[in-house]
Amino acid sequence: MSVDRRISALADQLTGLDDRWRGVFHAVPRHLFIPDRAWCDSDDGPGYLIDRSADPEVWMDAVYSNAAIITQLDEGATEIVEGKGDYTSSSSAPSVVAAALELLDPYDGDEVLEIGTGTGWTAGLLAHRLGDENVTSIEIDQAVFTLAAENLKRSGHVPRLVHGDGAVGWADGAPYDRVHVTCGVSEVPYSWVSQARPGGVIVIPWTPRWEGGYLTMLTVVGDGTAVGRFSGGVGFMLLRSQRWDLPQLEGDYRRSSTYLDPRRVVRSSTGADIAVAGLLPDVSGTHADQEGGEFHLSLWSEESDAQVHYAPDYKGVAVLQRGPRNLWDEVEAAYLRWVSWGAPSKERFGMTVTREGQYVWLDSPDNAIK
């Protein structure tokens, strides 16, 4: 199958991709930005190595599938061949790229700041649509930056590339009409707000410590704040300065129990997820189903952790908590507050970013949840 036919088949799968962006996808083909060896992170099954020299057809099929292609592990310290390690650079799934560009909705002539160049593909898409001179893209990793520059040159585009920390933006090119963020952020750096024009748009993958991640469109208000609502769910690698690690805690756990099923807390609704994340922004959690219908939830913050275990044959849920905070008690209270509000859906929540920080609100920016 020709490259053009592959792009058309892929574009047909991408809802919301208008004719202008469809043409750009053809003009800036994705395969120009994918290395000969990479890891395909498919939603249809386990990930797998793609090697252009060993099997060019499989490589091309993966590149023009709706899958993320991982191009770096552990900041380059681990070879890509087994896909084992932390994903630290990638080409995002085309459906996610299309959704973010749809939210970004740039006008002709708009100036765009991109945070996280990665392979350079989205910088190339933006440069083709808006002109090289109107796109600035920042990448913190030197090796990724160098390869992106080579990829973009191969595609015929030379947007301004900056090797630096995207968390501080690029004040030399401000103000920007649009800020396009390609890495997950839990706290929106205020530099992105201050470097955008009034009425400008910032599109971010908001990635709270609690469950989930959401494409979020914020509009910059003339008073120095940005406000917006949450869109579709996504998963992105975190901005390097915002990565978090499991705490190394010592001491005995305090034992207790609860009648609230932890499965309800993590599976009720994305609205519940956002409420807990907004009320407890520094609390993380992971969970897993276990044999025999059992379920385990782990919680942690910088100084405390908790283990919550459900078993079908046990009346109640076993809770272990350690550190100065009772994290399960806090999560349980946050979840029940969401229930008391009428279990509002994700669409009713939004976020405001100010010089002092950010907060989540329900229905209106005047109704911060706290």
Pairing of strands 284-289, 295-300: antiparallel
The distance of Cα 89 from the centroid of its chain, to the nearest Å, equals: 12
Give the chain's end-to-end CA distance (angstroms, integer). 55
* Other residues' Cβ atoms within 10 Å of the Cβ of residue 176: 25
- What crossing angle do the helices spanning 19-27 and 121-130 adopt, rounded to 10°? 120
Cα radius of gyration rounded to whole Å, the chain: 22
**Hey, is 91 helix, strand or coil?**
strand
CA atoms of 145 and 138, how far apart (whole Å): 8
On the question of a cis peptide bond just before residue 175, with omega within 30 degrees of 0, the verdict is: yes
Helical residues (DSSP H) of the chain, grouped into ranges: 3-13, 19-27, 56-63, 94-104, 121-130, 142-155, 190-194, 262-267, 270-279, 327-340
Q: Check 65, 89, 90, 92 and give the catalytic one.
A: 92
Catalytic residue flag (residue 137) = no
Tokens, residue 28: 């800036």
DSSP string, 24-58: HHHHS-GGGGS-SEEEEE-TTSS-EEEETTT-HHH
Contacts of 245 (CB under 8 A, 6+ apart): none
Q: Where is 282: in which H helix or E strand?
A: none
Annotated catalytic sites, by residue? 92
